[in-house]
Structure 1
Amino acid sequence: MSRSRSSNQLVVPQSTQALNQLKYEVAQELGIQIPQDGYYGNMATRDTGTIGGYMTRHLVQIAEQTLAGRQP
């Protein structure tokens, strides 16, 4: 996997693995192949943006359900 150059500090270190799993699930649902070597330079910007958008939508839904007192 590629290393992130982000300077953000993770509050929950295990979140990286969970977000990567979500990324692969979303990509599979959309029929987008994610490079196994972790290099996204050859992917279309539209594809990576679509994956990120669906991930965000899914995470917002989970947060809304949690705030409403329901488990996802």
Structure 2
Amino acid sequence: MSSRCALLLEIIFALLLPPLGVCLRYGCCTAEFFVCLLLTILGYLPGIIYALYAIVLVNPDRDEYRDRYYTLA
């Protein structure tokens, strides 16, 4: 779980350069990063919206699909 200071920095980076904020949270070779990069290229505002959604609302530590996979394996 990230600290409040790290979360605040990720949000600030997401407002300035959306893929950078997502990269700090998820890593640079993930689907979230490439979706954010594509949305930012297509339009700056959709990139910001997705970056804020991915950083604030989605918790990378609790992925329901990953949990289902590990219970099947």
Same-fold status (TM-score > 0.5): no
Higher helix share: 2
Band the TM-score falls in, shorter-chain normalisation:
0.3 to 0.5
TM-score where L is the length of structure 2? 0.32
TM-score where L is the length of structure 1? 0.32
